[in-house]
A and B are shown apart, each in its own frame.
Chain A
């Protein structure tokens, strides 16, 4: 009992001394925006472990960082997963600019790397590794392209030019205006040229102009002695912040398991979601984003899923349920084809009985049999489907990497999609893609797309301009004769018309192949 009294008294002491007392945020006049109408749409688990930060790209694509799997996952508005990019470091923060470039902040190396849309590495901000202590969030300002990186552990926001060179920084440790204690999420309100930064351990969101000048704050703690009693502190562990198109400030509160909605001036409007694992429940909501369809996505790290809500008049183009496909065997040898091929399908977020019977196909081929169970013994239910390997092999390239695409209809009308790669081995392969199997190809490495004869040899290979192998053309005429014969062979193999054939010879005839060197060079020779 004494300890409780001590806590209480310590709290009171803090109150009196102002110690550990984040600054007050006086709410301004109400902007008149209405609280949102909220419809819970779904939980979207995919294979996340701890979805942490999110970025919205063009077309309502959502990029989500999953640091414990070292991945950035990209999903489309339809729900289709189009990428799960593995990084060498531990990605925490993520941002996308207007040109589609991707910015990733890593917690282990303290770097922010910039990548192209296709994940080609472009450059690091500043010195790269060690530039930041913990790059917790990133935002890109769309007009000048400046990059705002929240360095949570150094309690500041560092601003870089579009080329990655440092521009300026603002912040610093403290609880006064413009100072931070462990800043987290960041959002650029481009139309009003304002910047929202979550100031986590000061229990507030601070608003700045794009040059870092403090404007106002949202949340915080009321200066009156009564503010610690009850739960009147609006924000407890704010993490992510987002402005929706209605001008509402949405803040995810990890401690309370809710998204809290304010107007721009800090007046509380509503809360979305609740703590828990139930549908609509949030646990450790680290970030949030509202897409162009007015759907709110919340990255709930400890529920290992994105929680999706519709705001006001939303559209829900979700139509795809991504699954996970494993294939056995993963290597198909066309020369020794097995009888059947099995795939194991896991469907995060759905019961397996949501698959409408008879709709499951892989590469358009229905399975021979289906068995629900847990084939890979990971305690997640899966569906094992057996396929005729020969039929599947016909849908795959002759050799090399092939794709198995599983599709099915779900009872909620969504389309299931899952992919797996197979490697096809074949002695009958055509490495230079000239249409003639390697085994029969006398001229390997035929250059891209050239027509060849039945031996796989193109005109350039049959009649090299520099001369046949090991020598030179005695004269131009020899070259032309070679060409005529080669063209005949190529024509026969490709069933070219005479008209098509006729175009090949004249170009040879008009070439300089086999002709002696320039007269000027010969002038120097003694005859």
Chain B
């Protein structure tokens, strides 16, 4: 070259240079200039750089003890998501990254290409089975899902799921030694930057491993993302996400702006490769980005940054470097590149859950995903994640095993029914059942939910879609709020209907914790299923007005206050006690202990299902029509709380304790009717409306008060009727319209006038000799 022409050209270059300076800190202030990284001829790397391996060039200074000791990087920092690492990889892409396994001394090497088309991340292990070089060495491969294969080492081979393998001979032969292995880790939801898109083109051009095909077209099969894809090492002009970064004041300024290849403040570079996660709603299978923090159960994060529009961005939760997920894994990071620990991150914005007292959130006893049990492929979580949101949710979704092209809804790890019309496949509740099937949760609710066969009679709450009555649906979450349920109140956070018929609970105008029966009233109250037989409005059944003269004490203590009744009661119950619906309607597992159900974490409980029809704790024969010998199991349910000897003892000195007594006559009339006469077969014969005799339909009540007799076909207000109401097969006699039960509230003498089992009773009187009600009115 003519030196004079060189000099002239060089002088002209002065003006070029001034308009294209290096920005700090990659500038002369740190003794850096062009020739540190570039050489005009014979450059082994791309872009006339000095070294093959763009990251290696960066790390000649960006290494501990190097010129950029304040921003060190090391290959060991690179993230293996879920395992270790605090930096985005610089050797990877949609075809993953390849790494030698310990002890691999083959001089040959392996590279991966293509685009992984699987929906779930995978790890392939490629092992040399016979030593040799390209064309002679053989290999076998296996992956995390249990697939496998084999072949002969060659160039550009097909592996699986869109991936390609390329073996490259080394300096010594055989290049590949038997027993040596490599792993290939691939992630899902990835693509390469697109040359055709103006935003992405500068990133695409910096991919490592491009093969020029001429005419500006490149083969990207073996392309990998490297430092310079996201970073422009010359210029600080592009806007970073970092809200504390200084402004760009022109060439030669901008130290601290992270050398962005493209503007990264909105529409971040992340979404170029991670395009599948650039969604505005979780319905599309990933946590939304580009949206503001909503109202409701959300709060503005105090330690996480939103973008300059106040919207959630990838970098709100993630950072590409020095992100150790809250010092996870002893500071080595967990590879998720989070700005906070994975247990705290969600709670920065999401306030829906009771992370303080909620059972699922408990660090010692809370939810820990055990791995999919009902189809989900999501692997078990490690123990330190107990109580975290990620035991049910995965922020970027998980492939639905039934429809692998999509994800489970609501970013769940498993299917849970969302369609109220029952249109989801019948693996609903699988999300809950994964734990609540006896392992790891202590009790097996799933088994209860499948007991018996629902038909004319109900044995389990119909949570499966195929069992729902059209127009009605019930799911686990109608009764349980997984985000708020506590050990001391498993119904925290749900809504119901109060005694007055008004909505109560979470999300209503009266947002207090519901009492159990209020929850049941939601479906078994005003909206009870009248299409089924023998159902009634339980909200009215248990109303507390004076008109309700006989009922099981759920909403208030019962009318019966007699000593005889008190003596019958078991399990600590008194005539002042109230019951819960679940003291009768519960799993058969609760029948071992008499009295009301005593809560314990190890007890399978709840009205989920029972071997006894109508989800009862114990057997209760409703067969009041047939014949057959009495055995006590026929009223096992009743005898859980009403002492058997009290109800069925022959005489008072036999242990009988009941008001249904004829002293000097038939003695205990319960015993007489059920056992001696061998006639009636069920308590229901006379106590047909067992919740409350408000619904009595086959009884004429007659009461004599102050000498004045009154009758009614509904129980009288203010007169105790002891839950007496006759079953439909009991007949009237003596010209009365309905079988009659009568009480003289002054004397306490009761009588029945019925035609029952062929037997005629006309004014059959009875009255207990002792222990009777202190008053027959209230």
Chain A positions within 8 Å of B, measured between CB atoms, are 3-16, 19-20, 43, 45, 49-50, 52-53, 67-68, 90, 92-93, 107, 134, 136, 152, 173, 181-182, 184, 200-201, 225, 228-231, 233, 236-237, 239, 254-257, 274-279, 283-284, 286, 301-304, 346-354, 377-381
Contact with A along B79-93 (1 / 0, CB 8 A): 010011000000000
Given A50-B63, A201-B67, A302-B74, A228 and B35 contact (CB-CB distance below 8 Å): yes
Contact with A along B29-66 (1 / 0, CB 8 A): 00111111011111000001011110011011101111
Question: Complex formed: what's the CA distance from A237 to B48 in Å?
Answer: 16
Q: Is the CB of B16 within 8 A of A50?
A: no
Q: Which residues of B have CB within 8 Å of A284?
A: 56, 59-60, 63
Top 8 A-B pairs ranked by shortest CB distance?
A9-B13, A351-B103, A67-B64, A20-B33, A92-B65, A50-B74, A181-B31, A237-B60
Q: Is the CB of A349 within 8 A of B102?
A: yes
Q: Is the CB of A301 within 8 A of B63?
A: yes
Q: Which residues of A have CB within 8 Å of B179?
A: 351, 353
Shortest C-beta distance, A289 to chain B (Å), equals 15
| B76 (CB) vs chain A CBs: closest residue | A49
Given A14-B34, A228-B40, A231-B42, A378 and B60 contact (CB-CB distance below 8 Å): no
Contact with A along B10-21 (1 / 0, CB 8 A): 111110110010
Q: Which residues of A have CB within 8 Å of B105?
A: 43, 279
Q: Which residues of B have CB within 8 Å of A302?
A: 56, 59, 63, 74-75
Q: Which residues of A have CB within 8 Å of B420?
A: none
Q: Is the CB of A107 within 8 A of B65?
A: yes
Q: Contact partner of A8 among B20, B40, B60, CB < 8 A?
A: B40
Q: Contact partner of B10 among A15, A173, A184, A254, CB < 8 A?
A: A15
Question: Complex formed: what's the CA distance from A457 to B56 in Å?
Answer: 69
Question: Complex formed: what's the CA distance from A6 to B181 in Å?
Answer: 46
Q: Is the CB of B59 within 8 A of A377?
A: no
Shortest C-beta distance, B24 to chain A (Å), equals 15
Given A286-B65, A302-B59, A11 and B103 contact (CB-CB distance below 8 Å): no
Given A6-B17, A284-B63, A380 and B102 contact (CB-CB distance below 8 Å): yes
Question: Complex formed: what's the CA distance from A230 to B44 in Å?
Answer: 11
24 residue pairs of the A-B complex, CB under 8 angstroms, read: A6-B17, A7-B38, A10-B13, A10-B34, A12-B6, A12-B10, A12-B13, A13-B11, A20-B35, A52-B63, A92-B64, A182-B31, A200-B67, A228-B39, A229-B41, A255-B60, A275-B53, A301-B74, A302-B56, A348-B102, A350-B103, A351-B102, A351-B103, A379-B183
| B17 (CB) vs chain A CBs: closest residue | A10
Q: Which residues of B have CB within 8 Å of A283?
A: 53, 56, 75
Question: Complex formed: what's the CA distance from A237 to B37 in Å?
Answer: 10
Given A201-B67, A255-B60, A16 and B10 contact (CB-CB distance below 8 Å): yes
Shortest C-beta distance, B224 to chain A (Å), equals 15
Greatest chain A CB density within 10 A among B7, B102, B170 is at B102
| A254 (CB) vs chain B CBs: closest residue | B60
| A134 (CB) vs chain B CBs: closest residue | B69
Q: Which residues of A have CB within 8 Å of B63?
A: 50, 52, 254, 284, 286, 301-302
Q: Check if B518 is an interface residue, CB within 8 A of chain A.
A: no
Question: Complex formed: what's the CA distance from A487 to B28 in Å?
Answer: 85
Q: Check if B405 is an interface residue, CB within 8 A of chain A.
A: no
Q: Contact partner of A20 among B28, B100, B181, B183, CB < 8 A?
A: B28
Shortest C-beta distance, B457 to chain A (Å), equals 49
Question: Complex formed: what's the CA distance from A49 to B59 in Å?
Answer: 14
Question: Complex formed: what's the CA distance from A200 to B382 in Å?
Answer: 46
Q: Which residues of B have CB within 8 Å of A152?
A: 65, 67, 69
Shortest C-beta distance, A155 to chain B (Å), equals 9
Q: Check if B707 is an interface residue, CB within 8 A of chain A.
A: no
Question: Complex formed: what's the CA distance from A527 to B104 in Å?
Answer: 95
Q: Is the CB of A351 within 8 A of B83?
A: no
Q: Is the CB of A277 within 8 A of B100?
A: yes
Shortest C-beta distance, B29 to chain A (Å), equals 11
Q: Is the CB of B102 within 8 A of A275?
A: no
> Which B665-711 residues have C-beta < 8 A from chain A?
none
Q: Contact partner of A255 among B12, B48, B50, CB < 8 A?
A: B50
Q: Check if B101 is an interface residue, CB within 8 A of chain A.
A: yes
Question: Complex formed: what's the CA distance from A11 to B53 in Å?
Answer: 22
Question: Complex formed: what's the CA distance from A286 to B40 in Å?
Answer: 26
Q: Is the CB of B382 within 8 A of A377?
A: yes
Q: Which residues of B have CB within 8 Å of A107?
A: 64-65, 69
Q: Which residues of B have CB within 8 Å of A20?
A: 28, 33-35
